[in-house]
Structures are given as structure tokens and as C-alpha cells.
Amino acid sequence: MNLLVVTQYYYPEPFRITEICETLAARGHHVHVITSVPNVPDGQFYEGYGWFRYGEKERNGVTIERCDCIKRGNNSGLRWALNCTSFLITSFFHTFGKKRDGFDAVLVFNNSPVTTIVPAARIARRLKIPLITWVLDLWPESMFFLIGIDGSGKHGLFKRAARSYCNHLYRKCDWILMSSKGFEKKIRDTGFTGQIRYFPNFAEETAESEQRGREELGFGPDDFVIGFAGNVGRAQGLDYTVAATEQLAEPKLRWLIVGDGPDLTHLKSLIDEKGLGCHYRFTGRVPGTAVPGYLGVCDCLFVPLMDQEVLNLTVPAKVQTYMKSGRPLIAFMNGAGADVVREARCGITASAENIDELCEAIRGFLTLDKDALIEMGERGREYCRENFDRDSLITKLEGYLREAAELYRGKVN
């Protein structure tokens, strides 16, 4: 197939769409990506990139066409909006010049913002090919959460206008691939009448990394280490770990936080304020290839999400990666993500934002012996192998793309 992919995020930014495109290219498909100049998550252009500096035009068989954008800078709401809007505007100029017989389908990697659909829809309609969108974040609910708009009656006009526009964009798609089964009703509520298929995030393929030693990270042989890897942001609510640690007063409890994010400084300040610094170790951002080495020192892994309707429908991508590591999970969340952990029997769940339940989950792990922890982790690894294997899921994606192209050709002809 000749596939056009529209995504605001691509290599060297850490998103799975790069792996998908390169795998498809390795399988003999021609893949052409329209994307932004990389600047996520730090908010600064990566080395070698910038305005009119686009880096490599081909990588691992994938053709890369980059659009200028305003970098996110300090990741404030204004800078985020400018970044997304600038990509929307500049990407529009890249919709011209594509040959009518050049592509079989357009695939959109759609986490945030939903406006990535706009240039993709224009190309799809002009070339008379199907538009397939992989939805990882539901809009406008995700936007409301990001900018702090709650479910009250405030901002009613803005919310109605945003919902109407986002629904309009979803209806432009021919197929929607949903990363969580919980998305289907919300997607149908937009008025979308096309095909919907389940296509979850797959577990990340990581090379063998250097195994870290517990002593190297300052952990003793009797410490119970709970690990977290990823973005430290508002949606994760890591403040609750501080409250739980204070309430438990368990001298053996340790937290390993691998990563960075907009709430990291606040989290560290809160820990210092409570005098709990001895319970935490921070690595800062590390290369993705190094993450398994850190997860390997942990007794269990922590996957949190705040209690918001849109987040409750989501299965965080780290669930699959954690499962693949063979470590048991504490799922501090509601909805779809917690359901997966319960179905796999690979951890203990606690209701989002409920400190008492989080403390109970931690106590539960502290009572388990090593064999029980290993058994629980292995159940997660097996569930991941059966449901979130990368190669199997990309094969399924190939089938969806071919089916969408064939059905669309039949409809047009």
C-alpha cells in the first residue's frame, strides 16, 4: 500500500506512530509522513531542527515531510495552543501537490489536538481516498481537562461550540480506530456513522538495557520499591503518592520516579514540605531504551490517572509496557485501565484519588511474598503477549487499512 500519515508528533519525539510507520515500511509498504518540527515534550526544538531546518527526509524507509511550527516553550496553555494552531496552518500548505493516484489511504495519529484531522481530511477528499483516524484522546473532553474547564455550567457557550466543531471533525473520517473500547459510545454520540475498530496501544519494543542495581539507586535489600515511568503531569496526580506515604508511615516504602514533566517541581516541593525525601528517588528524563533497566529494580509499578470522565475511558499506554516488564501493577484509576488490570489479574486496583484505597493496595503488596509478586507479574506478561503484541497489532492494522481502501474504492466506483 501507499500510505500517507498525518501526525503532529514523530521521531525523534517518543510516540508509537514512528514504530508503526517504520514497521509498515519494513513490510514493503510505502509510507509518507506529514509531521511537525519536533519539540515535544521539552517544548524546545530538538538539536538540528527548527524553522526551515527539517532534519532527515527519510528514515528507516519512511519519507518524512516536516511543517514549521511555533515551539511549545514552557508548555503553558497559550504556548500549547500556538504550537497546535501553527502546525494546523502550515500543514495545510503541504496538502497541495500530492498526486491523485499516489496514495491508497490517509492515516491520522490523533492524540491531541483533534485538529490534525483537518489537513488529512482535505487530502483524503481531494485524492478520493479513505481517511482513517486512530483516536487516542477524545476531544473536546481532553481539551477541557487540559485547560481546567470542569463539568459545571460555566463556559457553556464555549463548550457547546467546541463540542460541535470536534463532532464535525470526527464525522469527516471514514474509519475510526479506537485505542480503548470505552470510546465507542462517545464516538457514536458525535454522529459518526462510519466503521469503528478496536486498535489498542501495543507494548513498546525495547532493546536490552543495562540492569540497574538497587544499591546504585540508594535502595536497601529490604526496601519495597514502587516504580513510575513517564510524564509527571496533572493527569497522573502523583501528589497522592505523597499523601499515601505520609499516612502509611512505612519505613520500607520507596518510590522510584523515572521521567520528567510539568508537575515535577511541584511534586518535589511537596515531598520536601512533608519531610519525605528519603522515600523518593528521581532519575529525571532518561532514554527510552534505559527505562526497562530502572523498572527491573522495582517490586511493583504504579499507573495512576485522575478521576475524569475522559480519563476513565482511557487505557494509558504505560499499562501495556508495565505488563511486558513482568512486574505487578498498582492501578490507581477508574474505568477502562483498571478493568484491563483486573481482567489480566496482574495487580491491585484502587479508585482514582482515593488515598485510603491506595494505602490499602500498597499494604496488600507489602504482605505478598516474592513468589506471589512474580506470579502476578507473569500473568500480566502473558496477557500482554496475547493482547498487546506489537507485530500482531500492526498486522491487524494492515488489514484495516486494506479493507478501508477496498471498501472506499468500491463506493467511489
Cell of 29: 509498504
Domains of the chain: 2-202+389-412 (3.40.50.2000), 224-387 (3.40.50.2000)
CA angle 75, 78, 84 (to 5 degrees): 80
Reference 188, options 200, 169, 163, 171; nearest CA is 171
Q: For a pLDDT cut of 90, what percent of the chain falls above it? A: 69
Reference 398, options 124, 103, 27, 7; nearest CA is 27
This prediction's pTM: 0.86
pLDDT surpasses 60 at 264: yes
pLDDT surpasses 70 at 197: yes
Q: Which residues contact 202 (CB under 8 A, 6 or more apart)?
A: 16, 320, 388, 389, 390, 393, 394
According to the model, what pLDDT value does residue 153 have? Answer: 59
According to the model, what pLDDT value does residue 98 have? Answer: 73
Give the pLDDT mean for 271-297.
90
Helix axes 370-387, 317-324, angle to 10 degrees: 120
According to the model, what pLDDT value does residue 144 have? Answer: 81
The pair phi, psi for residue 366, each rounded to 5°, is -65, -20
CA 180 to chain centre: 12
According to the model, what pLDDT value does residue 309 have? Answer: 84
Banded pLDDT at 97 (limits 50, 70, 90): confident
Cell of 362: 500498597
Cα(158)–Cα(148) distance, rounded to whole angstroms? 13
| Tens-digit pLDDT profile for residues 375-411 | 999 999 999 999 999 999 999 999 999 999 998 877 7
According to the model, what pLDDT value does residue 301 have? Answer: 97
According to the model, what pLDDT value does residue 41 have? Answer: 82
Banded pLDDT at 330 (limits 50, 70, 90): very high
Banded pLDDT at 101 (limits 50, 70, 90): low
Give the pLDDT mean for 72-84.
86
Helix axes 239-248, 264-274, angle to 10 degrees: 20
Banded pLDDT at 210 (limits 50, 70, 90): low
pLDDT surpasses 70 at 208: no
pLDDT surpasses 90 at 170: yes
| Tens-digit pLDDT profile for residues 21-47 | 999 999 999 999 999 999 988 889 999
According to the model, what pLDDT value does residue 147 have? Answer: 74
- Between 93 and 210, the higher pLDDT residue: 93
According to the model, what pLDDT value does residue 155 have? Answer: 65
